[in-house]
């Protein structure tokens, strides 16, 4: 597996991976209605443009295995992990760890003392193991459907 900086040519594979991951990996923690609100099929074309722009504006990495994208993540310059998704067939292989290691390394280079994220129910245990703590549970409305997630933060000393 290799970790590489996001390239605009990665966008179709990234968006496809997002939809596939949400609808397969997160279904153990969210209802079908919630999954369709979180990742509705009719937004895929729109996401190609908006995500390409936002991933280029952030520090974004993709994980590749044999030339195929198996995960991606991004971090804003304010220290917010916006997205972290790993392909459904590549769970528990260290991909999320490698991606977040790369993001946290960048955050430290910018002298940020904290990194935060809005973690899904599914991702919460992963972030806890990495030293993040829950600031508060949150309810996010998406297409009129309430989705639970958690504002989490990791702090370190210089």
Domains delineated in the chain: 2-155 (3.40.630.30)
At residue 53, what are phi and psi to the nearest 5 degrees?
-65, -45
- pLDDT at position 94, please? 96
Q: Which two tokens stand for residue 87?
A: 């392909």
How many CB atoms sit inside 10 A of residue 55's CB?
A: 25
68: CB partners within 8 A, 6+ apart: 13
Please write the tens of the pLDDT for every residue from 25-35: 999 999 999 99
- Using an 8 Å Cβ cutoff, are 37 and 86 in contact? no
- Using an 8 Å Cβ cutoff, are 63 and 99 in contact? yes
What is the bridge-based pairing of β-strands 68-75 and 80-86? antiparallel
- pLDDT at position 156, please? 86
Q: State the pTM of this model.
A: 0.95
């Amino acid at each position: 597996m290799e970790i590489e900086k996001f390239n605009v040519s990665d966008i179709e594979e990234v968006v496809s991976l997002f939809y596939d991951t949400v609808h397969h990996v997160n279904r153990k923690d969210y209802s079908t209605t919630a999954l369709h609100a979180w990742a509705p099929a009719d937004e895929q074309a729109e996401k190609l443009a908006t995500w390409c722009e936002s991933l280029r504006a952030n520090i974004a990495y993709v994980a590749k295995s044999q030339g195929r994208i198996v995960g991606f993540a991004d971090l804003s310059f304010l220290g917010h992990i916006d997205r972290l998704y790993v392909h459904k067939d590549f769970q528990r292989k260290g991909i999320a760890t490698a991606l977040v290691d790369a993001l946290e390394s960048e955050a430290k280079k910018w002298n940020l003392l904290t990194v935060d994220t809005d973690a899904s129910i599914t991702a919460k245990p992963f972030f806890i193991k990495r030293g993040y703590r829950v600031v508060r549970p949150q309810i996010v409305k998406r297409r009129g459907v309430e989705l639970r997630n958690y504002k989490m933060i990791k702090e370190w000393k210089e």
